[in-house]
Amino acid sequence: MTVRFDGKVAIVTGAGNGLGRSHALAFAARGAKVVVNDLGGARDGTGSSSEAAQAVVAEIKANGGEAIANGANVADFEQVQAMVEEAMDAWGRVDILVNNAGILRDKSFSKMSMEDFRLVVDVHLMGAAYCSKAVWEIMKEQNYGRIVMTSSSSGLYGNFGQSNYAAAKLAVVGLMNSLAQEGEKYNIHVNSLAPAALTRMTEDIIPDPRAAAALVPEPVSAGVLALCSEDAPNKFILCAGAGGYASSHLYETKGIYLTAEDQTPEKILENWAALDDDTDEERITQALQQTGKFIKAALADLDSKT
């Protein structure tokens, strides 16, 4: 099986540098027409320039591919809609969206302004929501779509000094969880990526120069292409970096059931070890799965008393 994207149109946000640039080049190399979106700002989101996006487009065209540059700010819904309209005017469809655009404003929570918190959430979470919304009806009508949310190990597991970034990066997984269910009957698959690569976004976090040889963007882009292929999974968190690939899932312990008279904070604390026991833990894939588990325990208790 060879993964190709001939006849497909891909939008990659934040594609002027780093991972986004690598994704855009990889899609184009396998036949996709690519919208190279990049506001062209600094790592903290300030400023703008079309040079980076134009350079990626020039590279794609030099290799025989088709691409257009777009400078939309993903945190501005009107600009995002105009970007999608530009793609539709050029090629008549949008098959793939990779929500990659992002900024960093790292500080400990004590020192972080709420303006910096909000701005990072706006770019990562609202940017992903705006872009997904702008292509959603198109993908439904086509009965085909592939969307990737770019999460992070910081969001999945936490990282000191990145409360704004971590909050946004876990939030896009929540967005994926619901959109994957809503889009499934329209053949729209929505997945998440937790990448590890040495780019300008991570050069201060991973300062060891020896890591550069392994933490290049291309292995991560291979994972993105897998998530956007015809045979892509749905509602999957792919962790990728330095040639390593893994999945991340939410699990829930079997837990405990307390009768009405024991449903107190004291009894919960007294039984903490039991509720936290990971024996027979279960992978949770939808909200009602958890609710059903609790109701089943409660009804079993009622049945035992009748």
Indicate which residues carry an active-site annotation: 165
List, in sequence order, the alpha helices (H) in the chain: 18-29, 51-62, 77-91, 114-121, 127-142, 153-157, 163-183, 218-227, 265-270, 272-275, 287-304
Q: Are 17 and 38 in contact (CB under 8 A)?
A: yes
Compute φ and ψ for 232, nearest 5 degrees.
-65, 150
From 59, 58, 80, select the one nearest 70 (Cα to Cα): 80
Residue 287 CB burial class (10 angstroms; 0-12, 13-18, ≥19): exposed
Compute φ and ψ for 129, nearest 5 degrees.
-65, -45
